[in-house]
């Protein structure tokens, strides 16, 4: 093989290695309206009964950083959300976004889990990212 061909192969292989890989498609989880009782979901559009939920989530988890989108119907309870947080963290997902959605309005609202749980209180301390001066503004 001549030097020119080797040089071209090296350049091409470096260019291919420099192209970033396409991001992995998000995993979608849609809770059933009776999740609290059945634990059934739609995982990537496929119905999964509660008895197979942990196994099905483990099977689709190839990388802990793959995006996961969880859609919860508006009649979901916070205990459903908490339970799913535990299940997804047990499987190892670390890039999860949670949304409540309304079938009537076709709108959704993101719920962020950005703070550690606190002891129950009617007067909780300010969030770490809030400054007292911001709390006093109307």
Return d(Cα 59, Cα 61) in angstroms, integer.
6
Q: Which of 12-21, 43-52, 54-63 has the lowest mean pLDDT?
A: 12-21
Domain 22-113 adopts which CATH fold? Rossmann fold (3.40.50)
Sign of dihedral through CA atoms 114, 118, 121, 123? negative
Select from 86, 71, 79 the least CA-distant residue to 41. 71
Q: Is 60 exceeded by the pLDDT of residue 45? A: yes
Domain ranges of the chain: 22-113
Who wins on pLDDT, 21 or 129? Answer: 129
Return d(Cα 93, Cα 59) in angstroms, integer.
12
Who wins on pLDDT, 137 or 55? Answer: 55
Q: Is 60 exceeded by the pLDDT of residue 117? A: yes
Q: Is 80 exceeded by the pLDDT of residue 14? A: no
Q: Is 50 exceeded by the pLDDT of residue 8? A: no
Q: What is the pLDDT of residue 7?
A: 44
Quote the tokens at residue 60.
Answer: 């689709």
25 confidence band (pLDDT: 50, 70, 90) = confident
Residue with tokens 């749980």: 117
65 confidence band (pLDDT: 50, 70, 90) = confident
Residue with tokens 């196994």: 55
Report the run of H or E that residue 107 belongs to, with start and end.
strand 107-111
Q: Is 80 exceeded by the pLDDT of residue 77? A: yes
Return the C-alpha torsion angle 81, 87, 92, 93, nearest 10: -30
Beta-carbon contacts of 54 under 8 Å, excluding residues fewer than 6 positions away, are: 87, 90, 91
- Rounded mean pLDDT of 82-106? 89
């Amino acid at each position: 093989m001549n030097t020119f061909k080797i040089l071209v192969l090296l350049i091409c292989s470096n260019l291919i290695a420099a192209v970033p890989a396409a991001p992995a498609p998000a995993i979608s989880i849609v809770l059933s309206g009776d999740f609290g009782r059945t634990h059934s979901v739609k995982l990537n559009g496929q119905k999964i009964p509660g008895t197979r939920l942990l196994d099905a989530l483990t099977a689709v988890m190839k990388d802990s950083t793959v995006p996961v989108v969880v859609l919860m119907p508006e009649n979901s309870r916070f205990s459903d959300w908490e339970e799913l947080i535990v299940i997804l963290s047990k499987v190892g997902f670390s890039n999860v976004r949670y949304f409540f959605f309304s079938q009537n309005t076709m709108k959704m609202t993101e719920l962020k889990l950005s703070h550690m749980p606190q002891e129950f209180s009617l007067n909780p301390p300010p969030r770490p990212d809030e400054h007292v001066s911001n709390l006093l503004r109307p």
